[in-house]
Amino acid sequence: MRLIFRPIKRTFFYAFLVSLFCLPALAATPSEAKIEQLLSKMTITEKIGQTNLRGRSSRATGPLPEALKQTVIDGKVGAFLNVMKPHERDELQRIAVEESRLGIPLLFGRDVIHGFKTIFPIPLGLAASWQPELAESGARVSAIEATELGVNWTFAPMMDIARDPRWGRIAESFGEDPVLTSIFSVAMVKGFQTDDLSNPTAMAATAKHLVGYGAVEGGRDYNTSLIPEGELRDVYLKPFKAAADAGVASMMTSFNEINGVPATGNKLILKDVLRGEWQYDGMVVSDWDSVIEMIAHGFAADKKHAALRAADAGLDMEMTSDTYELYLEEIIAEGKLDIKQLDDLVRNVLRLKYRLNLFESPHRREVKESSILSAEHRQKAKEAALQSAILLKNNNSLPMPKKGTVALIGPLAHAAHEQMGTWVFDGRAKNNITVLDALQQELGNENVIFAEGLAYSRVMNHDGFTAAIAAAKKADRIVFVGGEEAILSGEAHSRADISLPGSQEALIKELAKLNKPLILVIMAGRPITMGNIIDYVDAVLFNFHPGTMAGPAISDLLLGKVSPSGRLPVTWPKSGAQAPIYYNHKNTGRPANDKDFVGINDIPVQAWQSSLGNDSHYLDLGFRPAYPFGYGLTYSQFSYADLKLDQSQIKIGGSIKASAIIKNTGKREASEVVQFYIQDVVGDVTRPVRELKNWQKITLKPGESRTVTFELQTDELSFHNIAMQEVVEAGDFNLWIAPNADSGLKGHFELIE
Ligand code: NOJ
């Protein structure tokens, strides 16, 4: 086999992505001359000031402290986060531009993650829609709302590849796949920034967390990541590259170390890859205190050493800790860091401020009429929630008839705060519509008998069971809305056991005894393992916390106004003990398979010690997940037939087309996510068993069929070989047009030189 060497480059695929979503090279191209001019006037204190990102508690009361104002007057701060009172922001900006010596405006950052006041589904939910345009429209709505109050920089999108559902921050991710994540990340960047950052409703986006944060050991937050460089480049860095190509304004380093070097002081990532290979000229900010956390990591001896490590690696702005402010001047005076290195950091900060047009237009935009939580914004949030719900099981009990009575039980049926999910600093429960609100509206109060059973998801006692069972007895069918409270996922909220918390399972089992249709609706921040509970219920409609409009969306889905069309953006394990778990794994030398599987109860007592018959699986859990990546049902069925490839051999540099006929064989209009996977059978380094390359979400009427065609450029088959060259190798490839990562029509082609 011959290796085709290609220099590290923008692949066709990403060129394609860029053409779809990309911002025409940050239209407000800043004048480098202006940056140089300004830089030449700056004192070293003012330069260091630009690298400081200071926080203020959003709960702070009383007037702005005089000392804080003085810091701004002295040019000792470049940006703030969490200043949430608009008049305080206005005042600080006024001081920066009118009272500081050089009048350099401030950045105001905020975690606007999946909505500002109008809350959209958590990012994992947005990814479950497989409709990047919904992520873009969510980000657009967020930017319009947040810029109205003066936020000009958001710490989103998060594009960490997450293969472990125990990790709480999987909620903020787009899941486990690098292509899905890249496309959703780029869509969100476009939604936040538009194609012109100087647009008054544009907000600078942040690609975070650079990098490998999703690979933390055991799913424990802040932990260690060990990722071989090839995989780092082919999987974990891929979304960041796509975002860089799409003009993302800034990036945030992650808390974790990667292969022994904390991300915040990582020269390979920040210098060689980002600035060298990618020529990225946006700004790089640390995560909260991640500069000083390099001391605990054992990578820096003290704060001064941490400042040196971070600045030398090329970190432009330090979030909340103050090592740059305290030590950079001294470090430069001692000759350990060249002033030119500081100048480079400052250039990147100033460039962002020019791109945002802050020098010309530093203040919050004036609005005649607020669009916050407008009907249009809420409708967009509802659409995203509708398209994100995943039907995991259905024994003909969904959609439910409008006639008859419903017992609505469960801790999330009327939990306006919880349905928003993690990272919603600005969302408020009072603005949200719950499932109870929506079903009462649809069916009439008298037809919805509500008893939560458990006041919140973790309740262990059974005190509310009697009332819940009594309510269920009176109704024709039961809808149990459970899951996880918002606080059980997100940063620092990893779980080892990812089943339904509290005594939810016990209550479901009691309700099942009534022999009435029992529908389980789950809202959660991660896949929730269901064990044998799945056998007690007739249907499961799963929602990653859907946000403000959870109620109306779930009600429409339950009543069949819309057929569910979400598909899993992550592999769904049977138990947290299977994690990490992901579809694009390697084959191993002893791939698990159904034929050879030996279960724990198949082993004779006092069996002779032998590995024969066993392969890479667990005796007690097998090797399959509960549901594969890409999986989801709807109220209709689809058939896949007639796979055709336009060639069986392709030359490197060319492309191949594959098509199949997808038919709606059921009785309702519904959407299908048609997925396109490949496998590179033999490689210089081993390749995954499948890799998603593309998909199309199509809607078909009953009986309708459509030929779905995918075109694959051979550059999309590239990967990093042992020598860390990005290569496309000649050889055999499998491909699938499939409803999920574990099935589909299989074809084959050969790639030739
Ligand atoms: C820490 C989190 O890791 C990061 O995602 C967030 O943007 C910052 N804190 C700021 O709140």
| Closest to 24 measured CA to CA, from 193, 241, 274, 276 | 193
Residue 56 Cα to ligand 1 midpoint, Å, equals 14
Could you tell me the distance, in angstroms and rounded to a whole number, from the CA of residue 319 to the centre of ligand 1?
Answer: 9
Owner of token pair 């109620």: 551
Alpha-carbon span 611 to 603, nearest angstrom: 12
pLDDT of residue 56: 77
- Does the C-beta of 155 come closer than 6 Å to ligand 1? yes
Q: Is 87 exposed, middle or buried (0-12, 13-18, 19+ CB in 10 A)?
A: exposed
Atom 4 of ligand 1, nearest CA residue: 287
For a mutational test of ligand 1's pocket, the pick from 172, 192, 208, 288, i.e. the residue with the most ligand atoms closer than 8 A to its C-beta, is: 288
* Gap from CA of 332 to ligand 1 centroid (Å): 29
Pocket probe for ligand 1: among 111, 172, 255, 493, the residue whose CB has the most ligand atoms within 8 Å is 111
Say if ligand 1 is within 6 A of residue 426 CB.
Answer: no
Query: Which of 491, 493, 494 for mutating ligand 1's site (highest number of atoms within 8 Å of CB)?
Result: 491
Q: Active-site residue numbers? A: 287
pLDDT averaged over consecutive 10-residue blocks of the chain (753 residues)?
A: 41 40 45 95 98 84 90 98 92 98 98 98 98 98 97 98 98 98 98 96 98 98 98 98 98 98 98 98 98 98 98 98 98 98 98 97 94 98 98 97 97 98 97 98 98 98 98 98 98 98 98 98 98 97 98 98 98 97 97 89 89 86 97 98 98 98 98 98 97 98 98 97 97 98 98 96
The verdict on the CB of residue 293 being under 6 Å from ligand 1 is: no
Contact 316, 284 (CB under 8 A): yes
Q: Note the pLDDT of residue 35.
A: 97
Phi, psi dihedral angles at 519 (to 5 degrees): -110, 125
Q: What is the DSSP letter of 529?
A: B
Cβ neighbors of 231 (< 8 A, separation 6 or more) are none
Q: How far is ligand 1, taken at its centre, from the CA of residue 713, in Å?
A: 37
Distance CA 15, CA 186 (A): 12
Separate counts of helices (H) and strands (E) for the chain: 20, 27
The span from the CA of 208 to the CA of 597, in Å, is: 40
Strands 52-55 and 79-81, by their bridges, are parallel
172: phi then psi, degrees, rounded to nearest 5:
-85, 0
Find, among 214, 171, 231, 247, the residue nearest to 14 by Cα.
Answer: 247
Residue 17's pLDDT is what?
Answer: 44
Asked if 172 and 163 count as a contact pair (C-beta separation under 8 A), the reply is no
Q: Is 54 exposed, middle or buried (0-12, 13-18, 19+ CB in 10 A)?
A: buried
- Distance between CA atoms of 381 and 639, rounded to whole angstroms? 31
Residue whose pair of structure tokens reads 């990036």 in the numeric block: 251
CA-closest residue to ligand 1 atom 9? 288
From CA 372, how far away is CA 365, in angstroms rounded? Answer: 14
Alpha-carbon distance of 355 to 567, in angstroms, equals: 37
* Spatial CA neighbour of 696 closest among 138, 183, 11: 183
The answer to whether the beta carbons of residues 96 and 32 sit under 8 Å apart is no
Q: What is the 3-state secondary structure (H, E, C) of 650-708?
A: EECCCEEEEEEEEEECCCCCEEEEEEEEEEECCCCCCCCCCEEEEEEEEEECCCCEEEE
CA distances from 14 to 84, 129, 135, 697, 713 (A): 37, 21, 18, 20, 11
Q: Are the CB atoms for 281 and 295 separated by under 8 Å?
A: no
pLDDT of residue 15: 38
The gap from C-alpha 144 to its chain's centroid, in whole angstroms, comes to: 21
Q: By three-state DSSP, how is residue 153 classified?
A: strand
Q: Is the CB of 80 under 6 A from ligand 1?
A: no
Ligand 1: centre distance to CA 342 (Å): 24
Closest residue to atom 1 of ligand 1, CA basis: 288
How far away, in angstroms, is 288 Cα from ligand 1 center?
Answer: 6
How many angstroms separate the CA atoms of 242 and 18, rounded? 8
Q: Indicate the burial class of 730 (C-beta count within 10 angstroms; 0-12, 13-18, 19 or more).
A: middle
- What the chain holds in terms of domains, given with CATH numbers, is 384-558 (3.40.50.1700), 638-752 (2.60.40.10)
Distance 753 CA to ligand 1 centre (A): 47
Nearest CA to ligand 1 atom 3: 287
Considering Cα of 583, then 587, then 588, then 591, what sign does the dihedral take? positive
CB of residue 680 inside a 6 A radius of ligand 1: no
Ligand 1 pocket test target in 286, 287, 291 with most atoms within 8 Å of CB? 287
Taking the CA atoms of 607, 609, 610 and 611 in sequence, report the sign of the dihedral they define.
positive
For ligand 1, the distance from its centroid to the CA atom of residue 176, given in whole angstroms, is: 20
User: Pick from 228, 202, 225: which is nearest to 214 by CA?
Assistant: 225
Q: Is the CB of 208 under 6 A from ligand 1?
A: yes
DSSP string over 361-423: --SPPP-SS--TT-HHHHHHHHHHHHHH-EEEEESS--SPPSSS-EEEESTTTT-TTGGG-S-
- Cα separation, 678 vs 700, whole angstroms: 25
- Structural tokens at position 650: 């392709």
Does the beta carbon of 491 lie inside 6 Å of ligand 1? yes
432 Cβ contact partners less than 8 Å away, ≥ 6 residues apart: 119, 416, 417, 419, 420, 547, 548, 549, 550, 551
Residue 111 CB–ligand 1 contact under 6 Å: yes
Atom of ligand 1 nearest to the CA of 206: 7
How many residues can be counted in the chain?
Answer: 753
What are the tokens at 182? 């890249």
- Ligand 1 atom nearest to CA at 82: 11
Q: Residue 453's closest CA among 382, 509, 537, 394?
A: 509
Identify any residues that bridge with 408 across adjacent strands, giving them in sequence order. Answer: 450, 479
Q: Atom 11 in ligand 1: which residue has the minimum CA distance?
A: 111
Ligand 1 centre and the CA of 529: distance in Å?
28
Return the best residue to mutate from 151, 155, 254 for the ligand 1 pocket (most ligand atoms within 8 A of CB). Answer: 155
Entry pTM? 0.96
Give the single-character DSSP code of 232.
Answer: I
For CA atoms 211, 212, 216, 221, the dihedral sign is positive
With a 6 A CB cut-off, is 110 part of the ligand 1 pocket? no
